[in-house]
Amino acid sequence: MLFREIPGQARIKQRLIQSVRENRVSHAQLFLGPEGSGKLAMALAYAQYINCRNRTTEDSCGTCPTCNKFSKLIHPDLHFLYPINKTKELDDKKVTHKDFIITWREFLIENGSYVTLPNWYDKIGIEKKQGMISAEDADSVNHTLAYKAYEAEYKVMIIWMVEKMNNQAANKLLKNLEEPPDKTLFILVSENHDQVISTIISRTQLVKFTKLADNEIFENLKAHFEFPVDSLSNIALQSEGNYTAAKDLVELSLNNAESTDTEKDRFLILRDWMRRIYVYGAKQKEYDSLQEIIAKLVGDGSREKQKEMLAYSLKILRLCMQYHIGNHQLVKYSGEELDFISKFSAFIHPRNIRQIDEEINKAIFHIERNANANIIFTDLSHIIARLIKIPAVAHNKKM
């Protein structure tokens, strides 16, 4: 990872680079900040920069053998700890973080190192359990760090989500945090200051990350994705300084645009959902009928599918709005879909589309973060029922 690949956080980059150039790298640092602020990406860029053989005053070279291995996360002096738990495949043995290292590297590379805990649990298949960093894993760190670096100047140990470490595990690490072996760098990454064990906090130097600015997110999305600028600008606003969430929203829309196999199923569910919302809005007694369709939206509980359904709904409702204002040529559908879009466009217009857009994206955001899908779809249905009652044209006020 190069510093220039990381959105924003200019002040932190400068401070880290300076510490290396002035040869005063602090041996144990805690990168603390909200999701999507770039803590893990920064930890990787820092580890690479310290060890790059041709670094400049601004960044790693990106091409030396060290950079090469760091970018693939396979450098022998780059170590990781992350929360884990037993999985279906690894149920009958004691699992350690080493069982997951290949999956971990793949996970970071797939996501450009902008990742969330729920996504990691999904990736290793422990969706319904909590991950943790065990005393055994902490012990193995001590063992690893007891040896000299293989080829780098600094051995680097990145502990992701250090708040998932219990007391017992933390105690095993304390001595090394206090007096690390020579040329060893600990970078602890956390999103919850209150949950990190205080003896760890007191032994680390704090590097505090803040949310990104909307324009930092927008510029980076624009540089990485071929996508309409208007939509990117909306997504940047809706992601509230969280680059991970912003990237997820764009990727979801892109995937949705490509897949066609289940699109018909989604259409039928969406049409049914909107019809029932419409009836529900008219007659408050239709609550049971609404719950029936919500069960279909929740489906088998897969968050991925729920998010895809929401992204699809958003796409179609945006088309309803285009149809409403006369841009019929943008609606590249025929048959039942076109029939639905043209009819439902009576209810979707410039006076409510922004809010509908916002609410659906909010729902995606919450599903991503493990909230109860039933409640989310129920709330969203109530909100849409209200929004589609907003008249397309403002009632004239008295002259």
**Residues at the contact surface with Zn ion, assessed by CB under 5 A:** 52, 60-61, 64, 67
Of 64 and 237, the one with the shorter C-beta distance to Zn ion is: 64
Least separation in angstroms between CB 61 and Zn ion: 4
Q: What is the DSSP letter of 90?
A: T
Residue 22: phi and psi, rounded to 5, are -95, 10
In degrees and rounded to multiples of 5, residue 336 shows phi and psi of -60, -40
The CA-to-CA distance between both ends of the chain, in Å, stands at 62
Q: Which is nearer to Zn ion, 48 or 239 (CB)?
A: 48
Select 65 or 350, whichever has its Cβ closest to Zn ion.
65
Pick between residue 50 and residue 356 the one whose CB is nearest to Zn ion: 50
DSSP single-letter state for residue 84: B
Burial 17-34 (b: 16+ CB within 10 A, else e): bebbeeeeeebbbbbbbb
| DSSP assignment string, 239-259 | TTT-HHHHHHHHHHHHHHHH-
Q: How many residues does the chain have?
A: 399
| Distance of closest approach, residue 209 Cβ to Zn ion, in angstroms | 24
Q: Could you tell me the CA-to-CA distances from 377 to 95, 239, 252, 369 in Å, in that order?
A: 37, 20, 18, 14
CB nearer to Zn ion: pick between 67 and 161? 67
Q: How far is the CB of 330 from Zn ion (least distance, A)?
A: 47
Nearer to Zn ion, 69 or 271 (CB): 69
For residues 75 and 66, is the Cβ–Cβ distance under 8 A? yes
Q: From the centroid of its chain, how far is CA 202?
A: 29
Q: What's the closest the beta carbon of residue 339 comes to Zn ion, in angstroms?
A: 59
CB of 45 to Zn ion, least distance (A): 12
User: Can you name the residues that pair with 73 across neighbouring β-strands?
Assistant: none
Separation CA 26–CA 186 (nearest Å): 9
- Quickly list H helices, 52-166: 65-71, 101-110, 117-124, 135-145
Instruction: CB nearer to Zn ion: give 20 or 61.
Output: 61
| Residue 74 C-beta: closest distance to Zn ion, Å | 15
Cβ closest to Zn ion, residue 153 vs residue 178: 153
- Interatomic CA distance for residues 79 and 137, integer angstroms: 12
Residue 64 Cβ, how far from Zn ion at the closest point, in Å?
A: 3
Q: Which segments of 76-166 does DSSP mark as H helices, in order? A: 101-110, 117-124, 135-145
Q: Report the nearest approach of Zn ion to the CB of residue 193 (Å).
A: 33
Q: Min. distance of Cβ 48 from Zn ion in angstroms?
A: 7
- Reference 167, options 204, 214, 133; nearest CA is 133
Q: Which 3 state secondary structure label does DSSP give 5? A: helix
Indicate the residue among 17 and 353 with the shorter CB distance to Zn ion.
17
